[in-house]
Amino acid sequence: MSETPKKLLIAASGTGGHLFPAIATAEQLPEYEIEWLGVPDRLETELVPQQYSLHTVRLGGFQGRLGLGSLRLLSQVLQATLQVRQLLQRERFDGVFTTGGYIAAPAILAARSLGLPAILHESNALPGKVTRWLSPWCSLVALGFEAATSHLPKANSVVVGTPVRSQFLTNHELPTDLTLPPEAPVILVVGGSQGAVAVNQLVRTAAPAWFEAGAWVIHQTGTNDEAADSLQHDHYIHRPFFEAMAGLYQRADVVISRAGAGTLTELAFTQTPSVLIPYPFAAEDHQAYNAAAFAAANAALVCRQADLTPIALQDMVLTLIHNPERRAQMAAAAASLAIPDSAEQLANLIRQTLT
């Protein structure tokens, strides 16, 4: 007689940085019956694969000071926790897995109040608030960066890196509709899953000097940039979002990027040198901590947006383009930060915790 499959609720919401590692982990658990917990109208409604039913609860962010907003949020969390408790009981789930952020709060609280295991993955070097508050109650906390350990002294933590999508493991092909001359230097600009308007502006001003040096610029602009179409050049390709990121990183000589944990993990995988401009308004400036870990390993150059002029960016990238030796050193340093079997490790830890 075959055993009933175990049921896992995955709580991951909002950004590619939270959703892609969760999807990558889910793909490593084919024997599990998996359902998803998210928020209406966020990225999960588009990104979560169809095979996972999506349940939603209403929740805002945990940013800002204490005040009326926090009270509203607290009441949302309590309400959501009750909803998730009912879901876990009704559908007989065996545990929850979450990649942090606000959706983690009701998932962890509901699971632990029912005595079910809760596994949390935190991809950032500076763990988010929800992770810091709730990690002592989690059965297991898996970490993307070693540096995060010191912020979670009471957690049962283990460093596994951050899982990447299967495209990073299987193929590094360029998108089929994108042809680039084989010898041309390529500068790839990415702004996280949402794009980065401030980086876009810097890049558009700096780019003519890069074109003059024979380079091509592939630019993910996001969907919020009104000036996205303002730069036109034969060596310039821009889109709001690219699906096949692995091939693009692989082809790029230099990547200019925000410092989200997902992107950094991928840059380590593809061993791509980078110039990082941490998003200055990220919660508690956490992207600066991610970037610092890469800078400390010599895998990236890091610039604060407030100090960065287009000329400085232009020159920094030109210097890298003209210095293959330096790029090779940075690539090797990036590779040393990669944990290639992160998704497998995490999936195995989930199996062990849910027995």
Ligand X SMILES: CC(=O)N[C@H]1[C@@H](OP(=O)(O)OP(=O)(O)OC[C@H]2O[C@@H](n3ccc(=O)[nH]c3=O)[C@H](O)[C@@H]2O)O[C@H](CO)[C@@H](O)[C@@H]1O
Instruction: Tell me the two tokens of residue 59.
Output: 């929740």
Q: Segment near ligand X (CB under 6 A), from 3-11, 70-78, 281-289, 331-339?
A: 281-289
Least separation in angstroms between CB 176 and ligand X: 16
Q: Segment near ligand X (CB under 6 A), from 82-90, 152-160, 190-198, 308-316?
A: 190-198
Nearest partner of 212 among 312, 308, 310, 314, judged by Cα: 314
Per-residue contact flags (x/-) with ligand X for residues 67 to 106, judged by CB under 6 A: ----------------------------------------
Distances from the Cα of 308 to the Cαs of 188, 219, 343, in angstroms?
18, 19, 36
Return d(Cα 23, Cα 46) in angstroms, integer. Answer: 12
Least separation in angstroms between CB 265 and ligand X: 8
Contact 254, 273 (CB under 8 A): yes
Q: Is 200 in the site for ligand X (CB under 6 A)?
A: no
Say which amino acid occupies 14.
G
Dump strand ranges (E) for 123-240: 140-143, 157-159, 186-190, 216-220, 236-239
Distances from the Cα of 35 to the Cαs of 22, 55, 62, 85, in angstroms?
12, 8, 24, 14
Q: In terms of CB distance, is 38 or 262 closer to ligand X?
A: 262
Q: In terms of CB distance, is 55 or 129 closer to ligand X?
A: 129
Q: Segment near ligand X (CB under 6 A), from 109-117, 153-161, 240-248, 342-350?
A: 240-248
Q: Residue 53: how many CB atoms within 10 A of its CB?
A: 12
Per-residue contact flags (x/-) with ligand X for residues 107 to 146, judged by CB under 6 A: ----------------xx----------------------
Q: Is 242 in the site for ligand X (CB under 6 A)?
A: yes
Residues at the interface with ligand X (CB under 6 A): 15-18, 20, 123-124, 190, 192-194, 220, 241-242, 245, 260-263, 266, 279, 282, 286-287, 290
